[in-house]
Structure 1
Amino acid sequence: MNPIQRLAKNIGISGISQIIVAILTFFLLIYIARFLGEAEFGIYSFAISFTSLFTIFADIGISQLIIREISRDKNLTDEYLINSFIIKFFLAFITFALIYITINLMGYPQNVIKIVYLFGIYTILVSFAQMFISIFQAYEKMEYAALILILEKIILISLGIFVMISGKGLTELGLVYVFAGIIEVLIAIIITSFKISKPKPEINLLTWKKLTIGSIPFGLNTMFAMLFFKIDTVLLSILKDDVVVGIYNAAYNPILALSFIVSGIITSTIYPVMSRYFTISKDSLETITLISSKYLAIIGFPITIFCLVFADILINFFYAGNFIDAIGAFQILALCIPIRLVSTITGTHLTSINKQGLRTLSVSICAILNIILNLILIPYISYIGASIATVLSELSLYFIFIFFIDRYYKKIGMSKILLKPLIASLTMGIVLIYLKDFNIIINIILAVLIYLVVLIILNTFTKRDKILFKGILKKADK
Structure 2
Amino acid sequence: MLTLVQRLQRNSFWKLIGDGSRGLLALFFILVARHYGPEDFGRLTILYSITLFATIVADLGLNQLVTRQIAAGKERAAETARGFLALKLLTVPLWLVVPAAAWIMGKPDHGHFFVLLVLLSLAFAGRNLLEFFGAIFTGLELIHYESALKFLAHVLMLAFGGVAVLLHAGIYAAGAAMLAGYLCGVLLGAFWCHRSLGLWPLNFRAKEISQLYAESLPLILMPAGLSVLTRWDMLLLGYFGTPAAEVGWYSASERVVGALGMLSAIGSAAAYPVLSDLHANDHSNFLSARARFLKTFFVAGAAFGVLLMLISKPLTLLAYGPAYAGAAVPLAVLAMGLAFSFPNAILLNLLVASGRSWDGALSVIAACVVNIGSNLVVIPQWGMLGAAGASVLGQAALLFAGLMLLRGAPRPAPVLERVGG
TM-score, normalising length from structure 2? 0.85
2-structure distance, mates of 1:92, 1:301: 40
Residue 266 (structure 2) pairs with residue 264 (structure 1): yes
**Cα deviation digits, residues 277-305 of structure 1 (max 9, x gap):** 98326884576256515641563353144
179-188 or 265-274, larger mean C-alpha shift: 265-274
CA contact (8 A) 1:56 1:220 kept: no
Match in the other structure for 1:221: 222
1:345/1:319 CA distance change after superposition, 3 Å: same
CA displacement at 1:54 relative to structure 2? 1.2
> What is the distance in 1 between the residues matched to 2:113 and 2:147?
32
Distance change (3 Å), C-alpha of 1:405 and 1:93? closer
- Structure 2 Cα separation of the partners of residues 27 and 371 of structure 1: 29
1:51 positional shift: 0.7
Higher relative contact order (CA 8 A, sep 6+): 2
Q: Which residue number in structure 1 is paired with residue 419 of structure 2?
A: none
SS in 1 for 2:323: coil
Point out where structure 2 has 5 or more consecutive residues left out of the alignment: 411-421
RMSD: 3.0
Inter-CA distance 351–172: structure 2 relative to 1 (3 Å threshold): closer
Code of the residue aligned with 2:233 in structure 1: it is D
- In the TM superposition, residue 189 of structure 1 has moved relative to its aligned partner by 0.8
Contact 1:42–1:243 (8 Å) recurs in 2:
yes
Offset from partner CA, 1:152-176 (integer Å, 9 cap, x none): 0000111101111221121122111
CA offsets per residue over residues 44-88 of structure 1, 9 Å max, x none?
Answer: 212221111112343202222222223344565455444543443
Instruction: Tell me the secondary structure at the aligned position of residue 200 of structure 1.
Output: coil
Give me the whole-angstrom Cα distance separating, in 2, the residues matched to 1:346 and 1:77: 26
Asked which structure has the greater CA Rg, the reply is: 1
C-alpha distance 205-408 of structure 1, shift in aligned 2 (>3 A): closer
CA contact (8 A) 2:337 2:392 kept: yes
Is the Cα–Cα contact under 8 Å of residues 77 and 197 in structure 1 kept in the other structure? Answer: no
Report what 1:362 is aligned to. Answer: 363
CA contact (8 A) 1:62 1:212 kept: no
Matched, 1:111 2:133: no
Question: 1:381 deviation in Å?
Answer: 2.1
Deviations 1:425-444 (A, max 9, x none): xxxxxxxxxxxxxxxxxxxx
CA distance in 2, matches of 1:140, 1:252: 31
Aligned residue in 2 for 1:65? 65
Higher mean Cα deviation, 197-206 or 62-71?
Answer: 197-206
8 Å CA contact 1:78–1:199 kept in 2: the answer is no
2:248 maps to 246
Secondary structure class of the residue paired with 1:247? helix
Of residues 299, 306, 309 in structure 1, which corresponds to 2:303? 299
Could you tell me how far apart the structure 1 residues matched to 2:189 and 2:276 are? 31
The answer as to whether partners of 1:66 and 1:80 remain within 8 angstroms in 2 is yes
Q: Which moved more, 1:338-347 or 1:224-233?
A: 338-347
- Report the equivalent of 1:35: 35
SS of the equivalent of 1:190 reads helix
- Secondary structure of 1:199's match? coil
Contact residue 247 and residue 384 of structure 2 kept, 8 A: yes
Q: Does 157-166 or 261-270 show the bigger shift?
A: 261-270
Native 8 Å contact 1:57 1:91 kept in 2: no
Displacement of 1:201: 4.6
For these two proteins, the number of residue pairs brought into alignment is 405
Counterpart CA distance in 2 for 1:178 and 1:233 is 23
Corresponding letter in the other structure for 1:151 = L
Alignment gaps of 5+ in structure 1:
410-478
Distance 2:163 2:253 in 1: 25
The one-letter amino acid of 1:245's match is V
What is the deviation of 1:401?
3.1
The answer to whether the 8 Å contact 2:297/2:343 transfers is: yes
Structure-1 separation of matches of 2:295 and 2:393: 25
Structure 2: distance between partners of 1:290 and 1:215: 25
TM alignment of 1:112-131, pairs within 5 A: 112-131=113-132
SS in 1 for 2:91: helix
Match of 2:322 in 1: 321
Cα 1:286/1:93, change in 2 over 3 Å: closer
User: Partners in 2 of 1:77 and 1:404 — Cα distance?
Assistant: 31
- SS at the partner of 2:250? helix
Provide the rounded CA distance (Å) in 2 between the counterparts of 1:271 and 1:136.
10
Distance 1:285 1:210, change over 3 A: closer
TM superposition shift of 1:91: 2.2
Greater mean alpha carbon deviation, residues 164-173 or residues 90-99: 90-99
What is the CA deviation profile of residues 165-219 of structure 1, one whole-angstrom value per residue up to 9, with x for unaligned ones? 2211211221111112211110111111222224125543334323323322222
Change (3 A) 1:87 1:269: closer
Residue identity in the other structure for 1:326: A
